[in-house]
A and B are shown apart, each in its own frame.
Chain A
Amino acid sequence: MSVIVSVQNVRKTYDGGFEALKGASLDIQEGEIIALLGPNGAGKTTLISTICGISSPTSGAITVAGMDIARDYRRVRAMIGLVPQEIALEPFETVINSVRFSRGLFGKAKNEAYLDEILKTLSLFDKKESKVMALSGGMKRRVLIAKALAHEPKVLFLDEPTAGVDVELRKDMWNTVAKLKEQGVTIILTTHYIEEAEAIADRIAVINGGEILLVEDKAALMARMGKKQIRIELLEPVSEIPAKLAPYGLELAPDGAGLTYSYDTNAERTGITGLLNDLQAAGLQMRDVQTQQSSLEDIFVDLLQEDGV
């Protein structure tokens, strides 16, 4: 695999003085799906807008297929498709005309058969002649994808493709992305859902505060992120953890009325069943059980501490 998009030390300072990107660097491999994972305001959208030419970098270098995005903007942009975060479509135009417009705008000659194929892939074919404003939110989002694919791009950027989309549609979207990857399209998507990155990406780039903090294979990263906790509230406080429960490495709350168990969601056995059985065997009565997962921000802090950044 070769590098198709290369971002080197890119900074972006907006007119107001806000520095959205503080020297971001990232290499994207041809044919992969990479997720840019980060909280709101991390710089995800700024990064992809900058690669796509919507905003210009203050400094740094970006190349696509070895070509500079500013000097070779025609050839670079013809290779790129962008699906924006917000739904932005001409409401009075039909689906097919909107898609035709995109294809022409990116310099490609008419090819109705190809456009029909895209609409079929995205389950929009029966809405071909419908006006955009008559479509549901999920369909509009798919029209945006159809427009981005209309000129047969090699690289597709999806900015928060499933923000505000229901669970069913989210699965659909993930399937669509997988199909596109099979066709050889390189896909870069931004998300602030860990589950989304986990479900579809090959690699995950964690971005926060305008910097790419780390880029790792999904499996490796998920293993580090997969920590979860169970908090057990006891009916009767205990003064110490019963010896029988020692192997679980429980933490006892200062008031003696709570126990916390940390486990790894990716492990073959989480030990939850055993723990609950043993609690009962030790004669402890439970008032309540809660599970909790660290927030994205907590995970960043953990990851950074681990890496000693």
Chain B
Amino acid sequence: MNFQAIAAIYTFEMARFFRTLKQSFISPVLSTSLYFVVFGTAIGSRMEAVDGVAYGAFIVPGLIMLSVMTQSISNASFGIYFPKFIGTIYELLSAPVNFLEIVIGYVGAAATKSLFIGLVILGTAYLFVDLDIQHPIAMMSFLLLTCLSFSLLGFIIGIWAGNFEQLNLVPMLVVTPLVFLGGSFYSISMLPEFWQTVTLFNPVVYLISGFRWAFFGKADVAIGISLGAIALFTLACMGFIWWIFKTGWRIRS
């Protein structure tokens, strides 16, 4: 393993994050506060508790997931797309590194950034609602796994994208709907029966359900299934990235 290279990529990418630390910090805090004001306080005060959890608190896991998923994808996709766009990818391709080292460097940095944002949102949530996390270790594990797997997905998108429009296309057209329809703001049991079944094909459901279980001890799907689903998703992304580097798809002429 070329650990020097992993460290170099990671620090270089994190430097990009620290250059824009204020924006990185302010925007999630602001948007989460807005969600809490609107859904938590204004609408939430007229909502019944879901599964015995006050609505304001109920949406916290979903809100964190929403931001963490979109941030992971945009950080990781930008991180690898930008060198392609400005041409500095030549250096990666001519360096004594293998795909694993490149992925650990880029995806690791992207996941770190979104983990930071996830924790900032969690901190902000404490300002608005009473939270008592039932399984803190499981909560952190789910958060980490989500950061990691969606950063992997973002990395794939960054390699696939041929321009900035495409870079935004997948997060906009695919991820946002999946997250909104994945039970971020409601329990799946609140849906009509037919739609409950449809929803089970949405991978994000398993993540949000598992994450919510870590908070409140209640889940839409069994925790084991959630874990299995996210592990499968991570492996699928890893496999696809391995194939990308093996064939040079979209990176090597």
Task: Give chain A's interface residues, CB within 8 Å of chain B.
Answer: 14-15, 49, 52-56, 73-78, 80, 82, 84, 86, 88-93, 97, 100-109, 147
Contact = CB atoms under 8 A, between A and B. Distances in A.
Contact of A56 (B91, B92, B252): B252
Contacts of A104: 4-5, 7-9, 11
A92 B86 contact: no
B178 interface: no
Contacts of A101: 8-9, 11-12
Contacts of B87: 84, 86, 88
A154 to B, nearest CB: 13
22 contacts: A49-B253, A52-B94, A53-B94, A55-B252, A56-B252, A74-B2, A77-B95, A84-B87, A88-B88, A88-B90, A90-B88, A93-B15, A97-B15, A101-B11, A102-B91, A104-B7, A105-B8, A105-B9, A105-B97, A106-B96, A107-B2, A147-B91
Contacts of B83: 90
B7 A92 contact: no
Given A53-B93, A105-B9, A107-B2, 4 more contacts: A14-B253, A102-B8, A105-B8, A106-B5
Contacts of A14: 253
B252 A54 contact: yes
Contacts of A89: 86, 88
Contacts of B8: 100-105
B90 A54 contact: yes
Contacts of B11: 101, 104
A77 B88 CA distance: 16
B22 interface: no
Given A54-B93, A88-B90, A97 B12 contact: yes
Interface in B6-23: 7-9, 11-12, 15-16, 19
A279 to B, nearest CB: 55
B177 interface: no
Contacts of A108: 4
A226 B5 CA distance: 48
A106 B2 CA distance: 8
B116 to A, nearest CB: 20
A147 B87 CA distance: 14
B248 interface: yes
Contact of B96 (A15, A74, A84, A147): A74
A93 B86 contact: no
A12 to B, nearest CB: 9
B251 to A, nearest CB: 10
Contacts of A100: 8
A56 B2 contact: no
A16 B195 CA distance: 47
Interface in B73-119: 82-83, 86-88, 90-97
Nearest to B88: A88
- Most chain A beta carbons < 10 A, residue from B9, B12, B15, B97: B12
Nearest to B7: A104
Interface in B33-89: 82-83, 86-88
Contacts of B96: 73-78, 106-107
B5 A77 contact: no
B94 A77 contact: yes
B23 to A, nearest CB: 13
A109 B4 contact: yes
Given A78-B96, A88-B88, A107 B5 contact: yes
Nearest to A48: B94
A292 to B, nearest CB: 38
A183 B94 CA distance: 23
B94 A54 contact: yes
Nearest to B19: A92
A15 B248 CA distance: 12
Contact of B94 (A74, A75, A80): A80
Interface string B192-233: 000000000000000000000000000000000000000000
A56 B11 CA distance: 29
A34 to B, nearest CB: 19
A56 B94 CA distance: 11
A276 B83 CA distance: 59
A77 B91 CA distance: 11
Contacts of A53: 93-94
Nearest 9 Cβ contacts at the A-B interface: A104-B8, A88-B87, A77-B96, A74-B96, A52-B94, A101-B12, A105-B95, A54-B93, A107-B2
A134 B18 CA distance: 20
A56 to B, nearest CB: 7
Contacts of A97: 12, 15
A122 B91 CA distance: 20
A254 to B, nearest CB: 51
A91 B95 contact: no
Nearest to A101: B12
A97 B16 CA distance: 11
